[in-house]
Amino acid sequence: MTLEQVQQEVDAWIKQYGVRYFNELTNMVLLSEEVGELARIVARKYGEQSFKKSEEKENLADEMADILWVLVCLANQTGVNLSEAFKANLEKKTKRDKTRHLENKKINNCD
């Protein structure tokens, strides 16, 4: 599924089941909440914390999908084409960072 298709699917779902989009501020808060939920799972799965009994069924992929969902809602309601935005962002990063990471001795064993 392309990003454009994802945006269309979310829009169709909102119109059919969601009545309307939450306002942008509400969606921004929801995005922050979802990122926090992902962070909690990552901290417990890959960090030093352990899962609580009530968290043992937490799903990393599902939390990432929740983040994508809310991000797509924000894009749809603000008129952002995520495919175009991502392509432009990738070009920006490539131009800016073409050699930066290769030359970074902290992550690359360059002499």
The domain locations on the chain are 3-80, 83-111
Write phi, then psi, for 44 (nearest 5 degrees).
-85, -35
Tokens at 95, concatenated: 């131009």
**Model pLDDT, residue 32:** 98
Instruction: Assign domain 3-80 to a CATH class.
Output: mainly alpha
Taking alpha carbons only, the member of 72, 67, 87, 54 closest to residue 13 is: 72
**Model pLDDT, residue 111:** 55
**Model pLDDT, residue 92:** 96
**Model pLDDT, residue 90:** 97
| pLDDT tens digits in sequence order for the chain, 111 residues long | 999 999 999 999 999 999 999 999 999 999 999 999 999 999 999 999 888 887 778 899 999 999 999 999 999 999 999 999 999 999 999 999 988 888 888 887 755
Single-letter amino acid code for the residue at 75: A
**Model pLDDT, residue 110:** 57
- Tell whether the torsion through CA atoms of 42, 47, 53 and 57 is positive or negative: positive
Residue with tokens 């990471």, as numbered in its chain? 101
In whole angstroms, what is the distance from residue 65 CA to residue 86 CA? 17
